[in-house]
Structure 1
Amino acid sequence: MYDKFWRLGLKEFSGTTDSFFAEGWIRSLEVHLHYLNMGDADRVRCATYMLRDDASLWWEGAEHDVNLATLTGVQFKNIFYEKYFIGYVKGRLEREFMTLRQEEMYVAEFIRGCRFVPLIARDAAEKLRHISDGL
């Protein structure tokens, strides 16, 4: 199963202080795992298999605080973000997104910002309201 990763070009993750790099890695991983149609338990195993160096050492400690038998991909992602997606960066992005105005908003910025504000990302009416409020 893991040899498919190498053929698809999935990169290992060694740890970083760059929140955007970490977020990009986890999103790339999710795309690959979705493509491979893996179940939740396999997703977690494959994600942890791709951790190297500092990230692998971090996971060795972090896995003691979870039940590996029931850990879901979403839960792993949340644990990963707690470590690698620094809170103040997420807070800054949420504030920037909430203050975007129509005249300065580009589609790519809006889509990117929606990832950090789940209330808006999941609700089409809320997205429309946010755009309207910015006019």
Structure 2
Amino acid sequence: MELGDADRVFCATYLFGGDARLWWEGASVALNLATLSLTCFMEVFYSKYFTDEVHSRLTREFMTLRQGDLTITEFVRKFERGCHFMPLIASDAGAKLRHFMDGLRAILRRDVRVAGPTTYDVAVSRALAAEQDQHDIERDHQGKQPVPIPHRPHSPPQQHQNKRPFHGPPKSIG
């Protein structure tokens, strides 16, 4: 059973809260909800919450998105949000994979590239594994202190007991 546009609009607006709920209560009075298409609803919604200025800003953020100090989970969340604003990248599997890889921190990008991912989903999975490996390595390094090498003072070589030490050439008498 497929939902009609009116049902889809109802489902979308059912989740609204706070300011969005108040806005929708006012906006819905001016709209005929029985004939409101999902496309028309999206246009009204986006004109309120995603102005051209906001859309441009979010597009720029996506195009310059880098992982930096973000975890892979946080980076993926921002990346996928940005895909909504850049459908040309999001709809091209190769471009999406390249853009994701370019945004990864260098050490993780190297580890993911070595795995040779062919899709975005595989790259995300490999990045999560590489990040876990990196945390494990850092934890191991923090937990193990280097073993100090005992300091041995320099001592002269041991002399054989049968031999007398050399004191220079014999002195002549007379």
Report the TM-score when normalising by structure 2: 0.41
* Number of the residue aligned with 1:110: 79
Larger radius of gyration: 2
Between structures 1 and 2, the one with greater helix share: 1
Flag the 1:54–1:93 CA change in 2: closer, same or farther, 3 A.
closer
Query: SS at the partner of 1:116?
Result: coil
Q: What's the CA shift for 1:52?
A: 5.1
Supply the RMSD in Å over aligned alpha carbons: 3.4
Q: Is the 8 A contact 1:48 1:59 kept in 2?
A: no
Partners in 2 of 1:39 and 1:55 — Cα distance? 19
Partners in 2 of 1:81 and 1:73 — Cα distance? 12
Percent identity for Structure 1 against Structure 2:
48
* Number of the residue aligned with 1:59: 28
Unaligned runs of 5+ in 2: 107-174
Aligned length: 95
Q: Which has the higher contact order (CA 8 A, sep 6+)?
A: 1
Asked if 1:85 is matched to 2:50, the reply is: yes
Flag the 1:52–1:110 CA change in 2: closer, same or farther, 3 A.
closer
Report the TM-score when normalising by structure 1: 0.50
Query: SS at the partner of 1:38?
Result: coil
CA shift digits 1:7-32 (9 cap, x unpaired): xxxxxxxxxxxxxxxxxxxxxxxxxx
Unaligned runs of 5+ in 1: 1-35
Asked if 1:100 is matched to 2:69, the reply is: no
Alignment of structure 1 residues 1-135 onto 2, 5 Å: 38-45=3-10, 47=12, 53-61=22-30, 63=31, 69=35, 71-101=36-66, 104=68, 106-131=75-100
Letter in 2 for 1:115: H
